[in-house]
Amino acid sequence: MTKMAHTIGPLIKTVRQAEEITQARLYANVLSRRQAIRFEAGETDITTERLFQLLARLDMTAAEFQYRWEKQTAVAATPTPQQAILDTAQAKLDQWLDADLTPGEEQAIEAYALTRPFFTLNQIDRLMAVMPKLAPAPYGRITQKLARLLAEMPDAPQVQRRRYRLWANLGIRELFSGEAVQAQKHFTQAAAFANDSLDDRITGGFNQQLAAALVTGDAANVYAATDAVIAHMRGLGLGVDADSLIDNRRHALTAAGLHAHWTPAELGAMARLVTIVPWPLIQDKAAYLRRFPGLQTALDAAGRPLSAFRDVY
C-alpha cells in the first residue's frame, strides 16, 4: 500500500468532493483532521481496513476504486445540492415506476445529471432508475452523457451491463414515443453488450421483434411477431413479466397509432398489473387509469369492470 499512497489519498479526495462529503464527515472515527489532510495530500498511507471504511462511506466498491486508481479517470466535481432530491425520487420509483414526481424533483434530477462531470457506478444506477420520468430532451442529453462516461471505462466492473441497460431503456422509451426506427437502432446497440441471461435473450429479443414489426405499420404483424415470446415467458412461470410485455406492446402500438382496440389479453394483463400498484403513491386513481387511451371505452363496451378480467390471458 505504501507505494500507492501518493495517488490513493488524492483520488479519495477527488471522489469525496464529487460525492459532496465533507472531510470531517468522511474521516470521522477513522483519521484525525491532520491525518486526513496529509493523506489527501499524498503524504501518508492508511491501512486496508481503514480504506474499506472510507470506500463504504463513498458508496464505492473496492473493485471500482481499484479500477479508477489504475486508470486515474476520476475528476473533481462542483458540489451540487440535488443529491437528497435524487434519493427521494428514487425511493418513490423503487416502490412504483409510475409514481408521480414533482416538477421540482424532475428539475433537480436534470440539473444533477447534467452539471456533474463525475459519477460513481452506483450513482449511474440511481440516475438510470429515475431518468424515465424526465422529458425527452433532458433524457436524451443525460443518456448521451452517461454513454460517454461508461465508454471511457469499458473494462470496469459491470459496465457492460449498464451500457446494455442504457441503450435498451432508450429503445423502449422511443417505442413509447412512436419512434420505432430509432428504437431498432438502439436495441441493436444494446445487443452488442448483452449476455446469455434469460432477460437478455427473451426480453431483448422481444424488443427487437416488436420494433421491427412496428416499422411495417401493421398491427396484425406486431401481434403475430410477439405472441409466441409472451406465451413462452408465461410458460416459464414468469406471469408478471409476460403481462408487462403485453402492456409494453399495447403502449407501443398506441404510440404508433396502431392500437384500434383493447384485446382480452391486454385487459387481463392490465387487470392483474393494477393489483400491485401502491395506490397511496398515486395522487388520483381515476386520473391514473385515464392515462391508458381507450381503456374505459373497452370496459364500457364489455359491460364489466376491469377486475372481471383478472383471469383472462
CATH number at residue 45: 1.10.260.40
Distance CA 55, CA 139 (A): 30
Cβ neighbours of residue 253 closer than 8 Å, sequence gap 6 or more: 214, 219, 222, 259
Domain extent, residue 37, equals 2-71
Considering the domain boundaries, does residue 311 fall inside one?
no
Tally of domains within the chain: 1
Helix (H, G, I), strand (E, B) or coil at 60: coil
Buried b (16+ CB within 10 A) or exposed e, 139-168: beebbebbbebbeeeeebeebbebbbbbbb
pLDDT at 1: 42
pLDDT at 209: 98
Considering the domain boundaries, does residue 240 fall inside one?
no
- Residue with cell string 483520488: 11
DSSP at 28 = T
Backbone angles phi, psi at 192, to 5 degrees: -65, -20
Whole-number Cα distances in Å, 16 to 1, 58, 76, 205, 221: 20, 7, 9, 41, 53
Distance CA 136, CA 179 (A): 12
Helix (H, G, I), strand (E, B) or coil at 1: coil
Half-sphere exposure of 102 (CA within 13 A, CB side): 6
Considering the domain boundaries, does residue 188 fall inside one?
no
Backbone angles phi, psi at 301, to 5 degrees: -65, -35
Considering the domain boundaries, does residue 313 fall inside one?
no
Which amino acid, residue 135?
A: A
Report CA torsion sign: 106, 156, 201, 219.
positive
pLDDT at 6: 63
Provide the grid cell at 185. 437502432
Q: Contact 139/168 with Cβ under 8 angstroms?
A: no
Considering the domain boundaries, does residue 138 fall inside one?
no
Considering the domain boundaries, does residue 20 fall inside one?
yes
Considering the domain boundaries, does residue 120 fall inside one?
no
Q: Contact 185/162 with Cβ under 8 angstroms?
A: no
CA-closest candidate to residue 229, choices 215, 242, 213, 216? 242
Distance CA 120, CA 157 (A): 12
Burial of 209 (0-12, 13-18, 19+ CB in 10 A): middle
- Its pTM stands at 0.76
Q: Contact 149/73 with Cβ under 8 angstroms?
A: no
Considering the domain boundaries, does residue 28 fall inside one?
yes
Distance CA 243, CA 309 (A): 13
Distance CA 223, CA 246 (A): 10
pLDDT tens, residue order, the chain (313 aa) = 444 546 788 889 888 887 778 999 999 999 999 999 988 888 888 888 899 999 999 888 887 888 777 766 544 444 455 667 777 888 888 887 777 788 888 888 888 888 887 788 888 998 998 998 899 999 999 999 999 999 988 888 789 999 999 999 999 999 999 999 999 999 999 999 999 888 888 999 999 999 999 999 999 999 999 999 999 999 999 999 999 999 999 999 999 999 999 999 999 999 999 998 887 777 777 888 888 999 999 999 999 999 999 999 9
